[in-house]
Structure 1
Amino acid sequence: MPEGNVTSVKNFVIVGFPGLHSNYYGLVSAVMLFVYVCILLGNGIFLTLFVREQKLHKPMYYIIINLVACDVLFSTTTLPKIIARYWFNDGVISFLGCFIQMYFVHYFASVNAFILAVMAFDRYVAVCNPLRYTNIVKDSTIMILCFASWLIAKPCVLMLAIRAYPLPYCAANKIVQCYCDHVAITKLACTDRTPYGFPAFVSAMVVLLMPLAFILFSYFAIMMAVLQISTAQGRLKTLSTCSSQLIIIALFFLPRCFNYMAPYVGISFNADMQILTIMLYSLLPPMINPLIYCLRTKEVKEVLAKNLARSTFLQVMKKRVDVSVICN
């Protein structure tokens, strides 16, 4: 069908997992709600610690705050609607609302990739140029780089939305995905999506592979610098300063690369498994990252322990234990 003003679809319906039996809708919505609460709680705790403790106002933690913002915003963009779909059987989303969600889904994911590249830059300078670290990696430098990450991600994603929105949508309106994304939406267009799908794929690869290439270069240089350290203890100590960042980066990039490359190496999934894979690499990092920040970073662990020690709840519990001991 030729393009033109033939769009008759007024709403889209988010299907989620097409093979999921209705008996499990309540369980799936409860799991997703639990994930969402964990994301908000974990990232909220780190944000509270950052605001309250001047000790954490350092370049590395400014980078993490940007990741926190990305994780919370991405989860808030995607999870409430799919929870409503399974909890209240309300999967309907307006035509415009679906494209707005699509824009933010891809935007926050792109920003996250660029912020991780900034994180790799921080570790590269810390390990390869430690004497110049304070001169190169200043608060202002990191703020500019993070701001640039939010800015650079915008044009590519905006172009995806602008090119997809005017396509003629005149038949099917069921999105076999847990949220509106570019591939799921443009598949429903009543026209050949090749002229739109291929540029979108190239754009996605650029946004994904540019930061990844820089990250790989940075960590290759870091490994070369670590190997030049004479003692095993020194090498382990240096690597430990990068471990938490490396875990965060791996959680974000490895599953995505696997999902993109699987069809080219002969690995195929059914629709439910593919959607599950996408949801895992989309939502697992936002849920796990706060644990990595808090449990694998010495300064954050100290700040968290201090705040827990002086919390009202723990003080009340301690007094009760002391009273019970005295009475016995």
Structure 2
Amino acid sequence: MHETQLLLRVGHLPYFMSDSNTTDFTNPSTFLLLGIPGLEATHIWISIPFCIMYILSILGNIAILFIVKREPSLHEPMYYFLCMLAITDLVLSTSIQPKMLSIFWFNSREISFSACLTQMYFIHSFTTIESGIFVAMALDRYVAICHPLRHSTILTNPVVAKISLAVVLRGGVLVFPHPFLARRYPYCRTNIIPHSYCEHIAIVKLACADIQVSSYYSLSVAFLLTCLDVFSIAVSYTQILRAIFCLPSKDARLKTFGTCSSHLCVILAFYIPGLFSFLTHRFGQNVALHFHILMANIYLLVAPMINPIIYGVRTKQIRDRILRLFSHQGSF
């Protein structure tokens, strides 16, 4: 007997799958990622800027790690946290970009169930880690500007190591229930994910079970962590700005503010698109699906690309080291 075909509409394009995919399967063998639904005809063109952003993020973050490792004067808390940020950005961009480009270039949509949950875990845990790193960097700037004489005694290497470990453990532990819960759900509707990567809510929405636990836990963690981190950063920079305006000379104020401006730019580039993507996914039912998916991609791709650029341009020690490196190579 021939299997009946079911028509699924995603965006404006039809997708067909057999009714064998609608029967109950606790763990589907594969999911199908659609890329950017509704913009399939332009996937090749979209892949060009995405590929450029990925290359720039890889080169830029590796350059940051190389420069900090090679320059002994940069072996201090601010640059240790910057190296953590570079590693986090490398993991984030590499978690999604290769698969996304394979969808755009080769129409390779299939991803195994386990690989999808693994990608989901890496994406959400490392975005949480990145947020924690921004809090640590704000703390470092607060101590360096408000208590400069005590900076080396407060943020010692063991203290920096403990802060770094706490940031990593927080991200890893708080996100762990996401794949654990998602694996336990039965999936009987479809295995098509209208997204370009395995995002948590996009996966659990496919389950034919009550997903309130996953939904409320995800919302609570995201809301509480974002509020806590943003509040901590805001308090730190409020104190920093008060200290800057108390400096006696205009040159000193400008120099100190310039040091902090790069941190503020990176923080805003991370939180603003992330907040927009999060609110759109939860409450933006009237927002076009392709626009939402594009913003979700930009949120995870732009920050890893611009972070090393901003720090390379705005941080004098890194900028000088890069210029010395190129001038040394040019002398041969």
TM-score (normalizing by structure 1): 0.89
Structure-to-structure mapping, 1:1-328, within 5 angstroms: 6-7=25-26, 9-22=28-41, 24-261=42-279, 268-311=286-329, 314-316=330-332
Contact 2:258 2:314 in 1 (8 A): no
CA distance in 1, matches of 2:316, 2:206: 49
CA distance in 2, matches of 1:68, 1:199: 28
Letter in 1 for 2:331: Q
Identity of aligned residues (%): 34
Contact 2:178 2:218 in 1 (8 A): yes
Change (3 A) 1:243 1:26: same
CA distance in 2, matches of 1:206, 1:132: 31
Give the RMSD, CA atoms, in angstroms: 2.0
CA distance in 2, matches of 1:296, 1:111: 23
Contact 1:8 1:170 in 2 (8 A): no
CA distance in 1, matches of 2:53, 2:205: 29
Change (3 A) 1:128 1:211: same
Change (3 A) 1:208 1:171: same
Extract unaligned runs of 5+ from structure 1.
317-328
CA distance in 1, matches of 2:54, 2:283: 33
Q: Secondary structure at the match of 1:9?
A: coil
**Between 240-249 and 67-76, the greater mean CA deviation after superposition:** 240-249
Q: Secondary structure at the match of 2:38?
A: coil
Letter in 2 for 1:315: S
CA distance in 2, matches of 1:164, 1:272: 24
Contact 1:128 1:221 in 2 (8 A): yes
Q: Secondary structure at the match of 1:280?
A: helix
Give the drift of 1:261.
4.3
CA distance in 2, matches of 1:60, 1:114: 14
Contact 2:29 2:112 in 1 (8 A): yes
Give the drift of 1:18.
0.5
CA distance in 2, matches of 1:166, 1:105: 20
Structure 1 segments, 4+ long, off by >4 Å, are: 261-268
Contact 1:255 1:281 in 2 (8 A): yes
Contact 1:60 1:119 in 2 (8 A): yes
Q: Secondary structure at the match of 1:76?
A: helix
Deviations 1:31-50 (A, max 9, x none): 32222111111111111112
Contact 1:16 1:82 in 2 (8 A): yes
Count of matched residue positions in the alignment of Structure 1 and Structure 2: 309
Deviations 1:246-284 (A, max 9, x none): 111111112222333468998952111111111112111
Change (3 A) 1:118 1:8: closer
Letter in 1 for 2:47: S
TM-score (normalizing by structure 2): 0.88
Letter in 2 for 1:60: M
Deviations 1:205-229 (A, max 9, x none): 2232222221111111212222333
Q: Secondary structure at the match of 1:12?
A: strand
Change (3 A) 1:238 1:189: same
CA distance in 2, matches of 1:25, 1:193: 32
Letter in 1 for 2:145: V
Letter in 2 for 1:309: S
Letter in 1 for 2:252: G
CA distance in 2, matches of 1:106, 1:307: 36
Residue in 1 that maps onto 2:17: none
Contact 2:27 2:113 in 1 (8 A): no
Letter in 2 for 1:300: I
Letter in 1 for 2:153: N
CA distance in 1, matches of 2:62, 2:171: 25
Extract unaligned runs of 5+ from structure 2.
1-23
Change (3 A) 1:265 1:192: closer
Q: Secondary structure at the match of 2:209?
A: coil
Residue in 2 that maps onto 1:324: none
Q: Secondary structure at the match of 1:165?
A: helix
Change (3 A) 1:250 1:74: same
